[in-house]
Structure 1
């Protein structure tokens, strides 16, 4: 019985290596975003857009209070999405708001 050519073996090796690299690339996807309807978000009154916060329910809220200017926000001011100490590994919207909002130090 004849052995397959070396070229065949190398092609198979490259194909398997390519599949491994593709699976690693898929593992580096962006973190999940907070769902406004989740139990934790509802408990904190979280909204993706500070302008859509219920003023009657949260009378101390102002539209100047945004996640991206909160001390718990783990992104830069102006970032569309970033981490938050209140939501663990999930991302929150920069223009969002929740009850835990605290002005970031200047």
Structure 2
């Protein structure tokens, strides 16, 4: 018959591993920086009001990530996911050259 002590010694290491993996699984994705290679390819700007119209002629007033079809922010927050950028979050007030109304 197993004792309580034996049971705890067998289950605690597994519980610790599960807890560590669980924290990693729920960690938030990092925010996309404008210097990131993906951001550079997309001419991403974290603040759409600061987009240089001469360098980005496709930009138009009112275009922001939060009005783009590719953007998803489940809680309506300042950060959300974009279909074009995997594993990183973009700003709702941002813009890129792949904007889809």
Q: Which TM-score bucket, shorter chain as reference?
A: 0.7 to 0.9
Higher-RCO chain (CA-CA 8 Å, sequence separation at least 6): 2
Q: Which runs of 5+ in 1 are unaligned?
A: none
Provide the aligned length of Structure 1 versus Structure 2. Answer: 99
The question of whether the paired residues in 2 share the 8 Å contact of 1:68 and 1:77 is answered with no
Report the structure, 1 or 2, having the larger strand content. Answer: 2
User: Residue 72 and residue 85 in structure 1: after superposition, are their counterparts in 2 closer, same or farther (change >3 A)?
Assistant: same
The question of whether the paired residues in 2 share the 8 Å contact of 1:68 and 1:76 is answered with no
Structure with higher Rg: it is: 1
Instruction: Please report how far the alpha carbon of residue 27 of structure 1 lies from its aligned counterpart in structure 2 after TM superposition.
Output: 2.5
Q: Which runs of 5+ in 2 are unaligned?
A: none
Q: CA RMSD in A?
A: 2.4
Instruction: Please report how far the alpha carbon of residue 80 of structure 1 lies from its aligned counterpart in structure 2 after TM superposition.
Output: 1.6
Taking structure 1 as the reference length, what is the TM-score of the superposition? Answer: 0.73
